[in-house]
Amino acid sequence: HPGSGTKVCLCPFLPLHPLHISTHLYIIQHPAEENKVLRTVPLLAACLPQDKCKVKIGRRFSEERDPELSTVCRKSDTLILYPGAEAANLEEFILDSPIYPSTIIIIDGTWSQAKDIFYKNSLFRLPKQVQLKTSISSQYVIRTQPTNRCLSTLECAAAALSILEKNNYIQETLLRPLQALCSFQLQHGAQIRLSKEHLLKNGLYPKPMPKNKRKLRKMELLMDSVKI
C-alpha cells in the first residue's frame, strides 16, 4: 500500500475461485524480494490453486537442501523461464516438443538477483530453458525495470501460463489485480516509473554516467535492449 497510509484492497480484482490450471508453477524468490512493499508474487498466489503454485525462497538450492525441487528440475517435462541465447521461445517450443511441459520454474528478483540465482545453481540448468517472445511492455509501472521488455514475475507467469494452458483468459485474470494496483498507486501520487532503458534513451536518467568502461558498455547494451 502507498506511503500515505491508505490501504488498498485488491480482493475485488481477484478471481472468485482459483484458476483451473494443469501446469505446476514454481517461483524461486530471492530473499530480498520478500520484504519489498510492491511485490507481485502474492497476487499470483492468490489467483492460483495452492497445489499448483509453490514459492521457494533462497539464493542457493541443491539436492540436499531441497530434494523436492531437485526432483522437479530433473523431470523431462519441466521448463525454466529465463531469457538468453540458449533459451527457446516458449510458443515455438511447445509446438515441437514431444513431451508436453507439466511444470515451469520462474525466478523472482531483480535482474541481477535472477541472474545470480540462475547461474549459480546447477539444478536450474537441468530443465529446458525457455523465454517469452514478448512484444508487450510491462504494465508494472511502479518499480523501475531495466528495460521495457522486463516483465514482473506476475506478468511472466501470466503470459507463460496462458501459452501452456492455451487460454488467454488466464493472462487477463492474472493481470487484473496488477492493473488495479498500478492505477491505485498512480491515483495516489506514485510517479510512473519508466524503465531505465527509456530514461537513458531520452537523456532523463538521473544518475551521472559511470566512469567505469564495463558499466558504460552495459548501459549501451541496455539501451539497445539486448539481454545481457
Report whether 24 contacts 91 (CB < 8 A): no
For every residue of 126-140, DSSP letters joined together read SSEEEE----PPPS-
Q: What is the pTM of this model?
A: 0.74
pLDDT of the chain along its 228 residues, tens only? Answer: 444 456 667 778 888 889 999 999 999 998 886 666 556 788 888 899 999 999 999 999 999 999 999 999 999 999 999 998 899 999 999 999 999 999 999 998 888 889 999 999 999 999 999 999 865 555 544 444 444 445 678 888 999 999 999 998 999 898 888 778 777 766 765 544 545 555 555 555 555 555 566 666 665 555 554 443
Q: Where are the beta strands (DSSP E) in 58-175?
A: 78-81, 88-89, 103-108, 128-131
Report whether 78 contacts 127 (CB < 8 A): yes
φ, ψ (nearest 5 deg) of residue 138: -65, 140
